[in-house]
Each structure stands twice: as C-alpha cells, then as structure tokens.
Structure 1
Amino acid sequence: MTAAVFGHGGPWTEEEYLALDGTQERVELFDGSLYVTPVPAPRHQHISGELRVMLRSAVRAAELYVLEAVNVRLRAGRMPIPDLVVTDDIDFDELVIDASDVRLVCEILSPSNAAADKVLKMHYYAVAGIPWYLLVEQDTGTLHLYRLDGQHYVEESVTKPGQTLHLTDPVTAEIAPSELLPH
C-alpha cells in the first residue's frame, strides 16, 4: 500500500522519509519501512493538547520544552512521531530531534495502534535510552508511567480517573486523568 500511496517500493532511507510532504496520514519510519496511520481523532488531539497545557509551566520552570508530534531519531532509520515529548534545549529549525535530547516520551493509545505503542514503540524508546515513557488510555485518561531500567521500562505508577499523577522527573507536575478528557 505504501508504494501505491507514495510511489516508492522501499526500503526507505531517512532522506526519502524526511522528503515526504503533503500526506493526510501520520507516517513513521522503522528500519526502512513506513508505518502509516490515520491522523489522530479529535479526542486524541484534545488529550494531547490538555496534557501539553498541564506540563507547560513545569517544563518552563525546568528549562525544558514540551512538543507535540515531532520526528524523533531513535537511531539511524528509526523515526517515530510520538504524541508528545519533553526535551532538553534543541535546534528548533531541525526536522528531527535526537533521542538523547528527549527526557519523556508520551503516546496516547488509539484503538488502531495500541499494540504498536504498548510493545514496539515502548521497546524502541527503551533501547534508545529515553528515561520516561507515559502511556495515556484514550477512553479513560488512565496514565501509565514507566521508568527506564537498563534497556527496559518498569512500571512506576498507574493513575486512574479520580487520582492524580505526581510527576517528579523530568519535571514536577500534577496530572489528573479526568482533566485530560473532553467534558
């Protein structure tokens, strides 16, 4: 299907991937192959925006940045587009952020790609050395926070609606799952 959509049979290089333009899909690069998903639904976008707002002042106080849907190079040829990242100081004119600059990565689970976020991307983010991984369940807002331990993540906490996540690293912030969801 990607050959029909993009006129290319693969494998894809980083240069070819970064030259893609004007598609209505979210396209990520994994080891020479494209992973194509539809643009996120409004609920997903709302959660991402609310989470970014909740983190904004804490991120500024820590002299970090919070960004949505950016290319992150985990290694050569492996570039996902996480829903949200907290980064160190970066070059804002570059198309790609290196994993070494990412302090926390967040994925909002969509029914169409939950397995990729829970297994594939979790593994790739861990191997790339990103210290924190936050998974958000789209239907309930439940937050699963994982801490890097070696090259694997261990679950640090699960925060359900009615509770509050007290984030202490890489920033100090409080996130209430119920405040992430549309009213």
Structure 2
Amino acid sequence: MTTAIFGHGRPWTEEDFLALGETNDRVELFDGSLFVTPAPTPRHQRISRRLANALDTGELEVHEAVNVRLRPGRVPIPDVVVTDPLDFDEVFVSAAVVRMVCEIVSPSNASADKVLKMHYYAAAAIPWYLLVEQDTGALHLYRLSGDRYLEHSVTLPGGVLTLTDPVQATIRPEDLLPPG
C-alpha cells in the first residue's frame, strides 16, 4: 500500500481512496490528501470498545472506526460514532446522521484530534464531540454552538459523565482504562 500512496502524484479523490481497499493502517481523506496512521494500540482499542459499549444503550446506533463522509473529499475514521438509523451497506456514513463523534487522543495524533478534526466535525454540523485522553481517561465533551464547539464538560477519573443527549449514558473514565 505504501507504494500506492506515495506513487500517486496527484490529489486523492474519493474513488482513489476507496480503491485502496481495507488496510492495516488507518487511512483518512482530507481535501485531496491522505492522513495515514498505524493501527491503534491495545490501550486505544480497549478504550474504544468500552466507550462504544457505554454509549450503546439501544437508543441509537453506535459504530467503531467507520468512514464518515463530512463532505465530498473529507472522510475521517472516528474512533466511535453515535448515529441515527442508517444503511448498513453504504461505504460511507453520512455526517447528516451522526449525532456524536468520539476520538481517543493518542500522543502521535493529538493535534489532529484537538484542532483539525474538531474543526471539520463542527463544519459538518455534528452536534456533539467527545475527546478521551488516552493516558488519563479524562473526558472532554463539546457541544456545537453555531459553527464551532464549546466545551460542555470535563470529567476526570473519580467523576462521572452523565449524558442525556444524544443518548442516556453514564461513563466513568477509570472504567475505560486498562488496569494498572
């Protein structure tokens, strides 16, 4: 796959992006450029699975690591998304059905999650954005206000995040983290 990415020589289209097929790397499309990161660590995946389980209350759909089409040519792969009912056979999840997007902040991509993706998710009018700090488990919940996110709450280990929108759920940061 590396040869296909680096030998491309022109801006990437959604068709080019889809032609890559499934990969061991996480490949996202942002305005003609690919953003490639290695597969997540076991710590990251544990947090993702436990977060998805906590959010899966049966009210809405919850998905891990799916292509979300924010607009043509802008396709991130959020760690967890909460959506309205959708077509399970579509290649992309439309931003129009996404009610919450969640990213687990890794040291290698912190700026992408806290700046780039936050901006893009807000531009796509996704109502809620949840950032999980991988090292501490701190939960930063943002609510869309106009065209940007405002911090709604911060929940540290020892506290409880109680959601009433888009789903009713309670999340304890320490429940997401591996032991030790």
Would you say the 8 A contact 1:55–1:66 is kept in 2?
Answer: yes
Secondary structure class of the residue paired with 1:9? coil
Q: What is residue 20 of structure 1 aligned with on the other side? A: 20
Count residues with an aligned counterpart.
179
Distance 1:178-1:157 versus aligned 2 partners, 3 A rule: same
Q: What is residue 72 of structure 1 aligned with on the other side? A: 68
Q: Given the alignment of the two structures, is residue 119 of structure 1 paired with residue 100 of structure 2, yes or no?
A: no
Q: Distance in 1 between matches of 2:32 and 2:166?
A: 32
Q: Given the alignment of the two structures, is residue 109 of structure 1 paired with residue 105 of structure 2, yes or no?
A: yes
Q: Distance in 1 between matches of 2:156 and 2:10?
A: 42
Letter in 2 for 1:20: L
Q: Distance in 2 between matches of 1:55 and 1:144?
A: 15
1:17-96 to structure 2, matched below 5 A, reads: 17-56=17-56, 58=57, 60=58, 62=59, 64-96=60-92
Secondary structure class of the residue paired with 1:126? helix
Secondary structure class of the residue paired with 2:17? helix
Q: Encode CA deviations 1:90-113: one digit per residue, 9 max, x unaligned.
A: 100011001011000000000100
Q: Distance in 1 between matches of 2:137 and 2:98?
A: 23
Q: Encode CA deviations 1:7-61: one digit per residue, 9 max, x unaligned.
A: 41230110110121243211000001000011111100000001111122x2x1x
Give the alignment partner of residue 162 of structure 2, picking from 141, 153, 166: 166
Q: Distance in 1 between matches of 2:22 and 2:98?
A: 27
With normalisation by structure 1, the TM-score equals 0.94
Letter in 1 for 2:36: V
**Percent identity for Structure 1 against Structure 2:** 69
Would you say the 8 A contact 1:10–1:33 is kept in 2?
Answer: no
Q: Distance in 2 between matches of 1:18 and 1:149?
A: 33
Secondary structure class of the residue paired with 1:112? helix
Letter in 2 for 1:181: L
Would you say the 8 A contact 1:2–1:9 is kept in 2?
Answer: no
Q: Distance in 2 between matches of 1:10 and 1:41?
A: 31
Secondary structure class of the residue paired with 1:113? helix
Letter in 1 for 2:23: T
Gaps of 5+ in 2: none
